[in-house]
């Protein structure tokens, strides 16, 4: 899953700051002053759902080839 493409296609945020931390992986700071905590949480939940769907597809594809 590409967070950049998910952002572009689904949210269209313009001001993103990508940071890579060797121990913790990639982080994306979305700079939107007007969003509240509930809106931010909804984005995280949405991305978690997308991630789960993609992981499930990977498991199904692996089972096809075993």
Beta pairing partners, 18: 28
**pLDDT digits 0-9 by tens, 5-51:** 666 677 888 888 888 888 888 888 888 888 889 988 998 898 888 88
pLDDT of residue 64: 62
Residue 8 is predicted with a pLDDT of: 67
Average pLDDT for 43-66: 78
Output the CA–CA distances (angstroms, integers) from residue 16 to 24, 30, 59, 62, 66, in the order listed. Answer: 18, 5, 31, 34, 40
Confidence (pLDDT) at 45: 92
């Amino acid at each position: 899953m590409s967070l950049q493409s998910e952002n572009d296609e689904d949210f269209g945020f313009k001001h993103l700051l990508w940071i890579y931390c060797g121990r913790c992986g990639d982080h994306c700071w979305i700079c939107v002053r007007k969003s509240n905590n509930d809106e931010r949480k909804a984005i995280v939940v949405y991305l978690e759902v997308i991630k789960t769907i993609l992981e499930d597809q990977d498991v199904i594809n692996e089972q096809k080839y075993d």
